[in-house]
Structure 1
């Protein structure tokens, strides 16, 4: 496909505007966090004396170490289990075409339209009846279920495009169904799995609503959910609040920057297959 010079220039201008639209809020947070504590900075004005100590103060005040550890435990509980179930579900629906797979897939698609806010009240009562309120399981178990429609549909989109000849060749070589799935299909699904893992990590780490409603102890929430307690303590101290927000966002930014190549590769493969 030949792109004209005019189209190329317009595309670059649009990409630049989108980049600025994305980056400017982070720059604003960073600049604001460097202002003296208790002040109300305006715009992107760089402070005369940057207060780098605000980050250390926010780290100690918000007990970020405990919050990060809690988030890690929740992520470890959500992501691997979600990947395992979604991979098997996607393989069964997309490649094996089990009986009733169309209706099952439609159920997952309907699950994509289910908002968290619409089920938070019955979910609260159910978690309470199970005796899991104020525990990390109150976050882990619902997130696995709420992420499953998208996760299963994502893996279905991969397996539905895998040629049947690959499984048939594995059967000829003597592999049973589980061996063909684990030794052949799962390695082929690594790009889709890695990109899904990144999305699940980002969504879990940034989960706010469920953590605030179902867990009272901030040290048992995700870092993003605990930011609500931090905001209540430092709601009038804008620089410290911005510093705390940046500290909590830092792991997600690092993960995305480190694995952006794998994520983009998986997205491109999905676009080509689709």
Structure 2
């Protein structure tokens, strides 16, 4: 009993230190964001005269309203398309038999290990030839192609972990492939799919290189790319830069806060067989 209490205490201590390591930098950015420009923050104490107006100034001067709207449109579109493609391809590679199955799976594995930076310049010229630069579609399509490789591997593993008895019972009852997927597998694997949604949203929202190269128009930029331009323009105004960084990070924090339970279930799905 005493050993169990000790293990529990050590576990909570480690989790507390991990939480502190994550929350402390966020708190320090908030302290900097509300500090006067003439008196930069020193340490972690709140400034005597908090300048909450820095958030309004950063929002107006950095045009973050437009940037966040652009990022939202791109991220939601990428998530919707990439998740559907990942679910369908993961189902096909885990549950169906067709000619060239293993051969077709190889390009997906290549997509996982190929550095995206290596193809960004050819990608730019191809998209420019198609008239897709300075267009949200010019960012959405490459991101979908980039994330579907991981999503397919993820969903293939998730579907493969489903009990074979359940799958065979559905087929004996007359379920075709689409019924098996939408009626049986997707409800069972909803936490894993939700985790994939959050991962794709996080990656798409934070994507910097594609947006920087493809979107040259300031009104078409995403929030991270706009923040990069904001840094170059207001390099000496550290509080405004910190306020802008909070604007860029806040949507991801909100999404994770509301979906954390499903994320944990998705990450642990299949760890315990029942």
Q: What is the TM-score of this pair, normalised by structure 2?
A: 0.91
Aligned to 1:59: 59
User: Which stretch shows the higher mean deviation, 153-162 or 10-19?
Assistant: 10-19
Q: Give RMSD over aligned pairs.
A: 2.0
Corresponding residue number in structure 2 for 1:172: 172
- How many Å separate the matches in 2 of 1:67 and 1:189? 34
Partner Cα distance (1:205, 1:151) in 2: 17
Q: Take 1:225 and 1:49, find their aligned partners in 2: how far apart are those partners?
A: 31
Counterpart of 2:186? 186
Assess, with a 3 A threshold, how the Cα gap between structure 1 residues 209 and 9 changes in structure 2: closer, same or farther. same
Q: Which runs of 5+ in 1 are unaligned?
A: none
1:28 is paired with a residue whose SS is: helix
In structure 1, distance between residues paired with 2:100 and 2:23: 46
Matches within 5 A, 1:9-158: 9-158=9-158
Runs of 4+ deviating beyond 6 Å: none
Residues 202, 252 of structure 1: 8 Å contact kept: yes
In structure 2, distance between residues paired with 1:14 and 1:266: 23
Which whole-Å deviations, capped at 9, do the CAs of 1:54-80 have from their partners, x for residues lacking one?
111111111222112111110222111
Task: Label 1:52 to 1:231 Cα distance change in 2 as closer, same or farther (>3 A).
Answer: same
Call closer, same or farther: CA 1:105–1:272 in 2, change over 3 Å. farther
Question: Is structure 2 residue 251 aligned with structure 1 residue 251?
Answer: yes
The alpha carbon displacement at 1:97 in A equals: 4.2
Q: CA distance change for structure 1 residues 166 and 217 in 2, over 3 Å: closer, same or farther? A: same
- Structural mapping, 1:201-220, within 5 Å: 201-220=201-220
Contact 1:35–1:239 (CA<8 Å) still a contact in 2? yes
Give the aligned partner of residue 242 of structure 1.
242
C-alpha separation in 1, matches of 2:47 and 2:202: 32
Whole-Å Cα distance in 2 between the matches of residues 256 and 50 of structure 1?
28
Pairwise CA distance, 1:261 = 0.4
- CA change 1:129–1:272 in 2 (3 A) is farther
Q: How many residues align?
A: 272
**Which one is further off, 225-234 or 85-94?**
225-234
The residue number in structure 2 matching 1:159 is 159
TM superposition shift of 1:38: 4.8
* Equivalent position SS for 1:195: helix
Partners of 1:206 and 1:224 within 8 A in 2: yes
Q: Give 2:269's aligned residue.
A: 269
Q: Is the 8 A contact 1:38 1:238 kept in 2?
A: no
- Paired with 2:117 and 2:45, the residues of 1 have a C-alpha distance of 38
Report if aligned partners of 1:198, 1:256 keep a CA contact under 8 Å in 2. yes
CA, structure 1 residues 231+270, in 2 after alignment: closer, same or farther (shift >3 Å)?
farther
Whether the aligned pair in 2 keeps the contact of 1:37 and 1:54 (CA below 8 Å) is no
What residue number does 1:8 align with?
8
Partners of 2:168 and 2:141 in 1: CA distance: 36
Q: Which moved more, 1:241-250 or 1:9-18?
A: 9-18
